[in-house]
Amino acid sequence: MSAVSALIAAHRSGQNVGLYSVCCSNEQVLVAAMQVAQRYGTPLLIEATSNQVDQFGGYTGMTPAQYRDYVLALAREHGFPEQRLILGGDHLGPNAWQRLPAEQAMAHARELIAAYAAAGFHKIHLDCSMACADDPTPLPDDTVAARSAELARIAERSAREAGRPPPVYVIGTEVPVPGGEASLHGGVAVTRPEAAAATLEIHRRAFAAPDLAPAWERVIAMVVQPGVDFDHSQVQHYDAPAAAALSDFIETQPRLVFEAHSTDYQNEAGLHALVRDHYAILKVGPAATYAYREALFALAAIEQSLVPAERRSDLVDTLDRVMRERPQHWVKHYSGDAQQLRLLRAYALSDRCRYYWGEPELQTAVHTLIDNLSAQPLPEILLRQFLPEQQREVEAGRLAAEPLALIRHKVAQRLAEYARACARNGAGTRTAVDNESDGAKALSQR
């Protein structure tokens, strides 16, 4: 039994444990995630999405094998035990190619999932929920399930041929939009229990072929909508009574839990409640890079007070300029006048500026910012103004007043909420005061 399967089994046996998934490729976010997992003794599930990483490179420029090597190198560099690291593939299917005819899009999806499975990605989210160019809309559940089963068959074969352990799978047809909704409008509705039951039965039939029976036994979760989401400016928080019927349904299904997408920006109490109610796999992505952006902007404000204009990174203005020059990652998502667009580019909860940190100009700006602030002591009064929570840790001697340590601590604060919600042995019930008093040092080491 894999570590993921064992954890899900522990949850279904009555233990209040879960698994949080960090969907990100940002180096500082991943290092912070490793520090948090070390602090709380949790496994670390890192997932790449199908638009981030694919056989052609995705928007990160990495194939699945290259992304695996990148994460493993970070783990070795920062002393994170590789045996506690789990790699996952999110939204694996024709998502990136849905403007193509179905057969063409699925051909790419077959290559995609083969590459992920061969590279050792253990947790596979089968997502064929999107209609391709010549498909009916909405796509019938039978078609979604049949395509998912086809991809599972390829994953099984590819993992076996590469000498990898067989993957575990997540299924579902009510899949939230990757990265959050464009607008919540009146809010998102909770999946109806009868819809979840129908989805499960349709997939069970699709996996009925003898060669897929072992794969079906490794389906650990369904993606559903528990009524949590976010758009550019607001968050829909978890309402446990509204989702109670859905939680009751999964209790009738041995060995399965729910996977909750778009849990970014939920408060910590909501994360604990989600795990309690069998949404035992929590996905986080934009909230982590949002915290990274917050830290950089705070450091840029400190830089403005310390560094002559001609030597500054101009990080904030550089980010906006690059986003305006290369608008493909946000122009279809944000709307409004010039002022509103500028605010959204920088501060929207959907955090579409996360797509830009790898651009050469932004990498140079970040390096300049870090170098400028590493060359001199950071005044306490400026840390109090722009990074007050981090300053308290510096004052207590638990955090170095160094740019990278401050950035990682800012991200770790967000990710630690997920770790506490999911951790064993009562760690999930720790308070923020407990964490600050004896745990922050572990989160702050460079």
Same domain, 329 and 275: no
Last residue of a domain, one of 286, 314, 347: 286
Same domain, 275 and 210: yes
Q: In which residue ranges of the chain is pLDDT below 50?
A: 426-446
Same domain, 262 and 320: no
Going by the DSSP 8-state scheme, the letter that residue 127 receives in this structure is -
Distance set, CA 235 to CA 14, 217, 227, 246, 281 (Å) = 30, 35, 10, 21, 19
Same domain, 342 and 253: no
Q: Output the pLDDT for position 446.
A: 31
Q: Output the pLDDT for position 183.
A: 58
Q: Which pairs from 317-323 meet CB under 8 Å and 24+ separation?
A: 318/361, 318/362, 318/365, 319/345, 319/346, 319/353, 319/356, 319/362, 319/365, 320/345, 320/346, 321/361, 322/356, 322/359, 322/361, 322/362, 323/353, 323/356
Same domain, 169 and 204: yes
Same domain, 192 and 303: no
Same domain, 179 and 231: yes
CATH code of residue 301: 1.10.400.20
Same domain, 278 and 298: no
Indicate the pTM of the whole model. Answer: 0.93
Distance set, CA 370 to CA 206, 229, 245, 405, 444 (Å) = 52, 33, 50, 11, 16
Backbone angles phi, psi at 321, to 5 degrees: -65, -45
Which of 289, 184, 272, 290 is closest to 228 using CA atoms? 184
Last residue of a domain, one of 226, 252, 286: 286
Could you give the CA distance from residue 381 to residue 393 in angstroms, rounded to a whole number? 14
Q: Output the pLDDT for position 187.
A: 85
Last residue of a domain, one of 256, 286, 316: 286
Contact yes or no for 171/127 (Cβ under 8 A): no
Same domain, 265 and 338: no
Range of 107's domain?
Answer: 3-286
How many CB atoms lie under 10 A from the CB of residue 328? Answer: 9
Which of 355, 341, 418, 316 is closest to 179 using CA atoms? 355
Could you give the CA distance from residue 222 to residue 374 in angstroms, rounded to a whole number? 46
Which of 33, 281, 306, 83 is closest to 171 using CA atoms? 281
pLDDT in tens, 336-357: 999 999 999 999 999 999 999 9
Same domain, 208 and 325: no
Total count of domains within the chain:
2
DSSP element (H, E) containing 85: strand 85-92
Q: Output the pLDDT for position 440.
A: 33
Residue type for position 401: A
Could you give the CA distance from residue 105 to residue 94 in angstroms, rounded to a whole number? 5
Same domain, 320 and 278: no
Same domain, 107 and 237: yes
SS3 assignment, position 224: strand
CATH code of residue 129: 3.20.20.70
Q: Cis check for the bond before 138: say yes or no (omega within 30 of 0).
A: yes
